[in-house]
Amino acid sequence: MLALVAPGQGAQTPGFLTPWLELPRAKDLLTWWGAVAGVDLLHLGTTADSEEIKATENAQPLLVSAGLLGALSLFPHPSDAFGKVGVVAGHSVGEFTAAAGARAITAESAMVLVRERGLAMAQASALVTSGMSALLGGEREVVIDAINKHQLIAANENGAGQIVAAGLLENLQALEANPPEGVRVRPLAVAGAFHTSYMESAHARLAQLARSVTVRDPRTKVLSNADGAVVHSGREILDRMVSQISQPVRWDLCMKSMSELGVTAVIEVPPAGTLVGLIKRALPGVETLALKTPEDIPAAMDIIARHGFPSELSDNPTWRMIVAPFSGKFTHTDIQIGDEVSAGRIIGRVSNRQESVDLLSDHGGIVIEFMVEDGDPVAPGQPIARLHPHGQGAH
């Protein structure tokens, strides 16, 4: 299974889009997306200095446009991707790249939202002197305990021995002066304490805008930063991305879900390198490629040819898959193979210590197969049952 992943803020470097302008449609697309977002993407991606592209309101639309441009370099006709890409995920603002790539929202909606997201987060950051620092190494429990003791928040858990603390700058400096044994603390070049309650005003602004955004259910599996779950509803994807502004990013759980789903190769779209570095350490058996320049396209196409196959989600399915939303235990109902069910019918339940969720049939149809038995443990995105749907195609 092939995964496409999109990086978050901090991955950008001055001039990184320059080689991409050699592609036939690049300038036109960047000009259009820039007009939509109200920002000069051509300038930001080629001639702007590090301070200008570090600014949150510039960095976020720049990152999303770069990721979409990279994805289109591999799949000029976006529908082709759904025959090859099994799962998509993004880190922080990269979730908007992933959502647009999966057709849950349009590229234009993504550009408007991330520009407003960046502006709102910059405004929220100006209210207090806050920031973020990466803690490298150490045991998770020890690192989390140290973060809590300094009245900070674990805003990103990136796996592979990297946790990002966020909060007041004075508390971050105190942590840097007295880190846990064997842990290096590295301040990050960001404007504020992202993915914490300090961003609540930005969350409120995006929530207001998101209510008017048109969404569709995605055409491939989309992993959520909140908990690594596969999300099948376009509205839920957008709601989760909005909530994520003031909630921690669990990239470690996204990588765990990739492993459980059977991902065998990962391509990171531009500006690439950060996420494949984490994946190499966390999932050593997975083939990775950082799509940094157009020179990497041939190698990416080779990976696509060897690892890509259709997701079970498509416009005209002969069956529908019901999957587990998170790790837990599956409990059966009285529904049997061959039973005809209506839309909204409870197929079963997945429970763990934190939550319990009924698995509902999104469409009416006939139950073809159960892939798990009563009492079996299940992982996020694991297929539970197949349903032959009534009607024509997905909605």
Tokens of 319: 């069956």
Percent composition of the chain: helix, strand, coil (DSSP 3-state, to 5): 40, 20, 35
Burial zone of 257 (CB within 10 Å; 0-12 exposed, 13-18 middle, 19+ buried):
buried
CB 291 within 8 A of CB 267: yes
307 is annotated as an active-site residue? no
Cα 80 from Cα 186, distance rounded (Å): 41
Measured in whole angstroms, the distance separating CA 242 from the mean position of its chain's CA atoms is 12
Cα 368 from Cα 337, distance rounded (Å): 6
Tokens of 97: 């790249």
332 is annotated as an active-site residue? no
Tally of residues, the chain: 395
Tokens of 12: 């950008």
Q: Where are the beta strands (DSSP E) in the chain?
A: 2-6, 85-90, 130-136, 153-159, 162-168, 184-187, 221-223, 230-231, 265-268, 287-290, 320-323, 328-332, 340-341, 346-351, 356-360, 365-370, 377-378, 383-389
Cα 89 from Cα 9, distance rounded (Å): 15
Identified catalytic residue from 92, 125, 130, 327:
92
- Bridge partners, residue 58, by sequence: none
Identified catalytic residue from 73, 91, 125, 195:
195
Cα 101 from Cα 95, distance rounded (Å): 10
Tokens of 351: 């429970």
Catalytic residues: 92, 195
